[in-house]
Amino acid sequence: MGQKQKIREAKKASGDLKVDKTTRAGYDRNNVAEVIKRLKQMAKEDTDRFDKMDLAETLERLEQSERVAATIGAAYDVEMARKRALLRCFVEHGITPPAPETRESAAGFNEGVLVNPSNATASVAAPDATATDATTEVSEVSVDDAKRQLAYSQFEARRKLAVAKETREHNDAMVRELRERGLEAPETGASTATGAD
- What distance in Å separates the CA atoms of residue 64 and residue 132, rounded to the nearest whole number? 34
- What distance in Å separates the CA atoms of residue 140 and residue 147, rounded to the nearest whole number? 11
- What distance in Å separates the CA atoms of residue 147 and residue 142, rounded to the nearest whole number? 8
Among the ranges 16-25, 46-55, 115-124, 169-178, which has the highest mean pLDDT value?
169-178
In the three-class reduction of DSSP (H, G, I as helix; E, B as strand; rest coil), residue 167 is classed as: helix
What's CA 63's distance to the chain center, in Å? 19
pLDDT reading at 12 higher than 60? yes
Q: What is the pLDDT of residues 24-60, one digit of tens each?
A: 666 677 788 888 999 999 999 988 888 888 888 888 9
| CB neighbourhood size of 36 (10 A) | 10
| pTM of the predicted model as reported, rounded to 2 decimal places | 0.58
Angle at 16 between CA 13 and CA 18, to 5 degrees: 95
Q: What is the pLDDT of residues 140-169, one digit of tens each?
A: 457 888 889 999 999 999 999 999 999 999
- What distance in Å separates the CA atoms of residue 71 and residue 197, rounded to the nearest whole number? 7
pLDDT of residue 100: 86
Return the percentage of the chain with pLDDT > 90, whole number: 37
Average pLDDT over residues 107-128: 47
Instruction: List the alpha helices (DSSP H) in the chain.
Output: 3-14, 24-52, 55-92, 107-109, 134-180, 190-195
Residue type, 26: G
N residues, the chain: 197
pLDDT of residue 53: 87
